[in-house]
Amino acid sequence: MRRRLWPRGLRARLLVTFVLVTVLGAAAAAWSSAGSASTALVDSTQRRLTEATAAQIGALAPQLSYPPDQAGLDRLRAAVGPDTLVTYRHLRSADGAGAALVTEELREAVRVRGRLVAQRVGGDGGSWLLIGTPVMITDLDGTRTPSGIEVYAAHDLGDVERRIDGLTRSAIGTAALALPPAALLALLAARSVLRPVRELRDTARRLADGDLGARSLPQGADELAELTATVNEMAESVQASMAAMRRMQADARRFAADVSHELRTPLSTLTAVMEVLEDAADGMDPDARESARMAITETHRLVRLVEDLMEVSRFDAGTVRPRLEEVDVAGAVRDCLRARDWLDRVELTAPAESRSRLDRRRLDVIVANLVGNALRHGEPPVRVDVSASPGEVRIEVTDAGRGLPEDVLPHVFDRFYKADAARTRTPGSGLGLAIALENARLHGGDLTAGNADGGGARFVLRLPRGMADQVEDG
């Protein structure tokens, strides 16, 4: 994987960006100053050397005889200085590196223009300034004509280059000197900028952890202060919404608990009446008997709903505690099926014995809900498979029906959820699977829903073995 060279943290990015901008700005300014100084130095040197060469030639030119001889050319070369080439037709006088450095381009320019020409060239030893000029003859009437003598002087620019190198090193040093104060200023700037960001991050983290009273104090009047104020407003809105939601949830739970409690006494009386009515139903005429049986069925359904509501209310209030004991899980499952006369309708696969510490009554509630749900809404055969490992007990309930649709799976354990509107009058309360899940979690286990490979719904209960002893309240 390719490594990222640019830092990820906001603090590091601010530091790097600030230092880079400062150092690059200082380097650009120093480099520009060094470049301007170098150009000025080269121009002044060139101007000085050309003026000196022209003055030397002008001083000796009147003393030459025309046409000149070799001795005259030698005197002119000696007067101009070392590294000089003087030519006149086929005569030439050379000294040092002048003859080797003079280019045909320079000679052509001197002959065509008929005036002094300067050119900078590179040699083995560095840069050189070549100055070429024709020697002019001034007539009595002031007319200037070329004498045919050409002077080429080479001047070593090594000293100038060394001075330019010094300016360059000075520019680099200036940029380097700007690094420590730039880093210090970057640290100070990053600290002042990131302090409110860190405070805002800490506030957001506290809000995410559930502390809805967390707030940050806006500082200044910049964009960060506006962001802080916005986050505070959001937190206040969320806190108000959560408080209202908690009040509504508490009211709903209290209402369900109160209603369930108030209905117990009249339902007990109504159940007793229904038992009497059930005994007398056989002697009624068909219409009255049908009405009586419907009333009995609805009464049993109402009693089951109230019992489930009271159970859910105890879970919501946090008052439920498991009553643990040593239980043979396979035997408890078999007893659950036998008590409801389901043994001949359910295929049970279980080891001879699988003991675990759990609440036997709540295990019975879980298994009864799962198997009853499979018998009512699935298709035979309904299978119950009990297995145990050193760490957990596993109970799997499957049927051979159509299975659970994908849109139903996320809501299987929701309270009062029924996937088929046509099943709203079934004996179930719509709370059975939700209560089964709460009982599984009460044991530190879990209950999951899915579909078997061959079709049909599959519910898997996992309960850990060996919970600590607790006593159920209520």
285-319 pLDDT, tens digit each: 887 778 877 887 777 777 777 777 777 777 777 77
284 and 358, same structural domain?
Answer: no
User: What pairing do the DSSP bridges indicate for beta strands 382-388 and 346-349?
Assistant: parallel
Choose among 335, 330, 336: nearest CA to 368: 336
Answer yes or no: do 109 and 234 share one domain. Answer: no
Please, what are the averages of pLDDT over each run of 10 residues along the chain (474 residues)?
52 64 66 67 75 75 76 78 80 74 77 77 69 75 73 75 73 69 67 69 79 75 75 82 77 65 71 75 77 78 74 76 90 93 93 87 93 90 92 93 89 78 54 90 93 89 71 37
Domain membership of residue 182 (yes or no) is no
**pLDDT at residue number 447:** 95
The DSSP output letter for 283 is G
Q: What is the pLDDT of residues 327-385, one digit of tens each?
A: 999 999 999 999 999 999 999 998 877 889 999 999 999 999 999 999 988 898 999 99
Does residue 163 sit in the same domain as residue 43? yes
CATH of the domain at 24: 3.30.450
Token pair in block for residue 350? 């279980």
d(CA 136, CA 150): 9
CA gap 378, 59 in Å, rounded: 125
Same domain, residue pair 303 and 231: yes
Q: In angstroms, rounded to a whole number, what is the distance separating the alpha carbons of residues 470 and 323?
A: 6
Question: Tokens standing for 160?
Answer: 């100038």
Q: What is the CATH number of the domain that holds 357?
A: 3.30.565.10
Which pLDDT score, from 0 to 100, does residue 11 have?
58
Asked if residue 402 lies in contact with residue 439, where contact means CB atoms within 8 angstroms, the answer is: no
Taking residue 186's Cβ as centre, other Cβ atoms within 10 Å add up to: 20
Residue 318 CB-half CA count within 13 A: 1
Matching residue, tokens 């117990």: 264
What whole-number distance in Å separates Cα of residue 37 and Cα of residue 310? 94
Same domain, 307 and 344: no
Which residue segment(s) compose the domain that 252 sits in?
203-319
CATH number for the domain spanning 294: value is: 1.10.287.130
How far apart (Å, rounded) are the C-alpha atoms in residues 223 and 208? 23
Examine residue 472 and state whether it is found in any structural domain, yes or no.
Answer: no
Quote the pLDDT of residue 57. 74
Q: Judge contact between 218 and 199, C-beta under 8 A.
A: no
Q: Are residues 248 and 346 in the same domain?
A: no
Contacts of 450 (CB under 8 A, 6+ apart): 404, 409, 457, 458, 459, 460
pLDDT of 334 reads 93
- What pLDDT does 95 receive? 78
Taking only Cα atoms into account, the Rg of the chain, rounded to an integer number of angstroms, comes to: 52
pLDDT for the residue numbered 186: 64
- Over residues 222-257, the pLDDT tens digits come to 677 777 788 888 888 887 887 887 777 676 667 666
Residues 165 and 233 in one domain: no
Counted domains in the chain: 3
Q: Among 262, 289, 319, where does a domain finish? A: 319
**Are both 166 and 56 inside the same structural domain?**
yes
Whether the Cβ atoms of residue 198 and residue 206 lie closer than 8 Å to each other: no
Domain annotation covers residue 189: no
**Whether residue 437 sits in one domain with residue 338:** yes
Q: Which string of b and e fits 118-128 if b means at least 16 CB within 10 Å?
A: bbeeeeeeebb
* pLDDT of res. 473: 37
Assigned domain for 287 exists: yes
Distance CA 286, CA 267 (A): 26
319, 338, 357 — which closes off a domain? Answer: 319
DSSP label at 219?
A: -
Does the pTM of the predicted model rise above 0.85?
no
Which of 298, 319, 340 marks a domain boundary?
319
- Domain presence at residue 187: no
Q: Residue 179 has what pLDDT? A: 66
Q: Which of 297, 335, 253, 320 is nearest to 425 (CA)?
A: 297
